[in-house]
Amino acid sequence: MAGKFFLVPTPVGNLEDLTFRALRILREVDFVLTEDTRITTRLLQHYSITARMIPFHQHNEHKSLLSVIEKLQAGQNLAMVSDAGTPGISDPGFLIVRECVKMGVDVECLPGPTAFVPALVASGIPCDRFLFEGFLPVKKGRKSRIESLAGETRTMVFYESPHRLVKTLTDLALVFGGDRQACVSREISKIYEEHARGSLDDLCADFSGRATVKGEITLVVSGLIV
């Protein structure tokens, strides 16, 4: 009988955001697939969890996929965690899930932390309909991707790194118009959590004037009003 594959969301900030069910699963499985063993070790040690870890990240996921599936088919239960949030959302996870579905291995995704939901809800921008875009292309295809979204009427959600935030705000303002409303959320669920709200032009001026910008960024941008 094949084992079960669990996708376990981990805190994006405060370690208390890990659910009781996630704790139980991480204690019970045979192996934990982890994006970065150093980060996962800190989490597991905080909760006194002893688990055998297997590195699984974007640089080795194709190479490691077969051995993971073999363990599942041999009846072992595996959990997968990312550095923060829900695996598969702009993080590794999709390839394993697809292969598990193909091979008839049971997949269970626990509900839990993910950065874009609190950012979206706290933005003050309509969230009844939204489009999750994840990370924009860094170079090739970036301009065309942004232009393709200019007429989008749903609220848009992007992930971005701190050092590219100002460039992204500038690029969006050039195509969408500087008066388009947006919200920059950073350090979600941490001590210095911030939700900076305003027009794209205002936010660009704000973050351009800061000496440093820290924390992973979730950017929520209002859709075109028609």
Domain boundaries, the chain: 4-109, 116-221
What are the average pLDDT values for consecutive 10-residue runs of the chain, which has 226 residues? 94 94 97 94 95 88 87 96 91 90 94 94 97 94 96 97 96 97 96 96 96 93 94
pLDDT of residue 1: 81
pLDDT of residue 169: 98
pLDDT of residue 60: 80
Q: How far apart are CA 223 and CA 155, in angstroms?
A: 5
pLDDT of residue 57: 82
Q: pTM higher than 0.75 for the full model?
A: yes
* Tokens describing residue 69: 């599936």
Q: What is the DSSP string of 41-88?
A: HHHHHHTT----EEE--TTTHHHHHHHHHHHHHTT--EEEE-SSB-TT
Residue 132: phi and psi, rounded to 5, are -95, 115
> 4-109: which CATH topology?
Cobalt-precorrin-4 Transmethylase; domain 1 (3.40.1010)
> 116-221: which CATH topology?
3.30.950
pLDDT of residue 152: 97
